[in-house]
Amino acid sequence: MESDSLTRAWAAALNAVPTDELGPVATSMLRSARPLGDIEGTILLAVPNGFTKQWIEDKAQSKLTTALSVNLGRTVRIAITVDPSLELVAADDQEEEEPPAPAPPTQPAPASSQEKKEN
């Protein structure tokens, strides 16, 4: 399978999974996964850490498998591997999405006791 069609199927599968019931953290975990390839009907996904891998396996794998199967037009399975370098990609994506925090207001420095005596 071409990686472009797998990438499109993965994007469609993510959109098909009801993320509103999962919440923003879970949605972020799903979106951190990257499809690596299709090996004889098994879609290999990479995730940034073991927690995400376990969460997908426990909570979302069946929904993802169904959505991918529908989008690819055939029955597939999912295998998940951990790729720690994706942590950096996810962190970069979050930095781009989140606006910078406003700087704290600056206050004038208090006058020194020497200046008070001169006034």
Query: According to the model, what pLDDT value does residue 88 have?
Result: 72
Query: According to the model, what pLDDT value does residue 107 have?
Result: 61
Number of folded domains that form the chain? 1
Say if 56 falls within a structural domain: yes
Say if 108 falls within a structural domain: no
Distance CA 82, CA 29 (A): 13
Q: What is the CATH number of the domain that holds 75?
A: 3.30.300.180
- Mean per-residue pLDDT for 46-63? 94
Average pLDDT of the residues of the chain: 82
Query: According to the model, what pLDDT value does residue 45 have?
Result: 97
- Non-local (6+) Cβ contacts of 50 within 8 A are 82
pLDDT tens digits along 12-48: 999 888 777 778 888 889 999 999 999 999 999 999 9
Query: According to the model, what pLDDT value does residue 18 have?
Result: 78
Domain interval for residue 7: 3-90
Say if 64 falls within a structural domain: yes
Query: According to the model, what pLDDT value does residue 55 have?
Result: 93
pTM: 0.70
